[in-house]
Amino acid sequence: MSPIVLVTIAATCIYSYVGLNNPQYFEKYKFNVGAIKNRKEYIRLVTSGFLHADFMHLFFNMLSLYLFQEAVTLFFGDIGFLIIYFGSLLLGNLFSLLIYQNQPWYSAIGASGAVSGIIFASIAMAPNEISVNFLPGWLFGTLYFGYSVYMMLNPKQWDNLGHSAHLGGAFFGLVYSVALHPQLAMSNLLFLGIM
């Protein structure tokens, strides 16, 4: 595993731990439409990606990142990994801001947008190389995408997970991958079309 990926995972775990044990810190840095739009707290577009609802949420995101990061660092290098990770985090949260712009109560946390970008960039490059619970990567991605759409269209006030961020992040990861490696992405067009 690349040192950049390791640092990303470590930083996310540390900041998530602090957030889980400090409610004021958590509230100050989570994604919140009202705080971003009305108080111009744009830093939340990034900091929310380092907070998680609980240890299972953190574990699932970091496990997913670990499972899919290798293809991304192989095809794009460490700088490409960072571009996809933070570009997906930012675009995912901007998409959430657009979708929920009239719901100032809407809040979300998690690295899911960033991780979605890594997952979908990885699948675009190597759709059959990665498997999750014996599901090929492209099928996992399709199911994950469907679940995210459903949850985005049916938001719950108690659900702090950024389901719309999954979609924005996935979009960034796919577009970046196709833009940098169009021939390889085209050779995987069937899988990309299914997703």
- Average pLDDT value for residue range 99-126: 92
Per-residue pLDDT tens over the stretch 130-167: 666 677 877 887 887 888 788 777 766 666 566 788 89
pLDDT of residue 135: 77
> Alpha helices of the chain — where are they, by DSSP H?
3-21, 23-29, 33-39, 44-47, 55-99, 112-125, 137-153, 163-180, 182-187, 189-194
Q: Check pLDDT > 60 for residue 17.
A: yes
Cβ atoms 113, 89 nearer than 8 A: yes
pLDDT of residue 183: 87
3-194 — its CATH code?
A: 1.20.1540.10
More confident of the two residues 184 and 89: 89
Domain boundaries, the chain: 3-194
Cβ atoms 166, 91 nearer than 8 A: no
Per-residue pLDDT tens over the stretch 87-112: 999 999 999 999 999 999 989 999 99
Percent of the chain with pLDDT over 90: 66
Q: What is the pTM of this model?
A: 0.90
pLDDT of residue 177: 94
DSSP 8-state class, residue 106: -
